[in-house]
Structure 1
């Protein structure tokens, strides 16, 4: 997070030492002070009608000899049409508890019923079960969905910092002492391989009933 102390110094708080502590970083001897934050870390401020800023135009004389990098080629990732996980309203994420790449299919089915996308913890990405662009957490993406369903995710601080500002968090885990339950709006202690398909099935029944009504 970001804050300003009583002397006007910018205070930057971020995970440190492998995410085991939260460190506050200050730079009180130099100006200007500046910090960057990840997308979706902070809520979008409301627009103030009539408010305008001052545009200052400046010229920067620079020659090609001053530029040490050059774009040689642009390669598209071929994932056109897929929703970026950082902007998704519904996310179903899996962790080490998914046990294999193939088991993520049950999360995909649930995500499709919700109109959302599948995410993953770092351990699941490191295992090769999900691509890196679906990783949520300190070394992945920060998300703020309406609903975040964590399946088989223990809740390491590195993961929590990436999803703890979700509107509603549902955690499914066999371990009742899993840290993920500390930030969950609703917690289900049970076998995700039974719970997730049951939720998906119930959603399909509700949709079918709504269409028939």
Structure 2
């Protein structure tokens, strides 16, 4: 049997998170298929992913926006041919797969960070302070994948066949109204190699823009923020890094004016190099930082930006 990966389309492309989910799937089964609900361009992109042998493409208005109420029943109808279904542990994946698990009457294995055996996985618990090894006894596996824990599959090099699939269409209990997304020329937060994040110490949206944006521009970095900064309205929700935000693991993570609450650390402590700037020498962020600067950010950040 084979593993089925639920792709996350972005127009005619696929989110990088899909590539990490494919890598996780290859550790479960030799053959990997991918389900794409969306445009033909997204299906074509999925067919080019190395390691994928078949693409199941669901076209039509009912599936165009990955509404869980419409997509989940179609995925369930396909599961007779699969041992496992996997999706990135993103907002979309965490919306769709619990419905699939419920309809299959199995327990979902959430946010895995490694595959230890055919039905054995590890996953973080207690905001990442402990790692649990879990083994499923269910006949079907429903899995969400922490994408920062798996390398991305090669986006080019595959030549999978594309097969059209269809289901009952719109369930009639939800509808797509609009997409309110932040457009940016910066790298996407979860796939950026450098992230500059700001915290509540930046006081307001104008100050956040004044100090964080120039530094990020110099480094070609994505911009993140702590939950406190987001809740205070400094930046949109899309910028939030943490347990209830986005999980990131860039090559370099720069935390500016972030104390390091456990909620935030859960979203970034797997970064390769963590640099912290905070005037409080006892801030918890310094416990995970590789490089720490005890200084007033209002002096340190402009100086750092200038020297870069």
Q: TM-score normalised to the size of structure 1?
A: 0.74
CA contact (8 A) 1:27 1:33 kept: no
| Residues 97-108 of structure 1 aligned to structure 2 (within 5 Å) | 97-104=201-208, 105-108=210-213
Give the Cα separation in 1 of the matches to 2:215 and 2:129.
34
Counterpart of 1:198 in 2: which secondary structure? Answer: helix
Instruction: Work out whether residues 114 and 149 of structure 2, in 8 Å CA contact, stay in contact via their aligned partners in 1.
Output: no
Q: Secondary structure at the match of 1:193?
A: helix
Q: Distance in 2 between matches of 1:59 and 1:120?
A: 40
Over 3 Å counting, the alpha-carbon distance change for 1:127 and 1:34 in structure 2 is: same
The secondary structure found in structure 2 opposite 1:145 is coil
Q: CA deviation at 1:93?
A: 0.6
SS of equivalent residue, structure 1 residue 188: strand
Partner-residue secondary structure (3-state), 2:223: strand
Question: Which one is further off, 71-80 or 165-174?
Answer: 71-80
Matched with 1:39 is 147
Q: Whole-Å Cα distance in 1 between the matches of residues 276 and 165 of structure 2?
A: 53
Instruction: Report the secondary structure of 1:63's partner residue.
Output: coil
For residues 195 and 114 of structure 2, the distance between their equivalents in structure 1, rounded to whole angstroms, comes to: 26
The 3 A distance-change label for structure 1 pair 15 and 121 is: farther
Alpha-carbon shift at residue 35 of structure 1 (Å): 2.0
The equivalent residue for 1:79 is 183
More strand by share: 2
Match of 1:4 in 2: 116
What is the root-mean-square deviation in Å for CA atoms of aligned residues? 3.1
| Equivalent residue number for residue 257 of structure 2 | 152
Of 198, 216, 225, the residue aligned with 1:120 is 225
Instruction: Count residues with an aligned counterpart.
Output: 194
TM (norm. structure 2) is: 0.54
CA 1:174/1:2 → structure 2, altered by over 3 Å: closer, same or farther? same
Unaligned runs of 5+ in 1: 204-213
**How far off is 1:176 after superposition?**
1.5
Distance 2:235 2:290 in 1: 25
- 2:91 corresponds in structure 1 to none
Structure with max Cα Rg: 1
| Contact kept? 1:149, 1:169, Cα under 8 Å | yes
> Which of 133, 142, 146 is the matching residue for 2:238?
133
User: How far did residue 121 of structure 1 move?
Assistant: 0.6
Greater per-residue helix proportion: 2
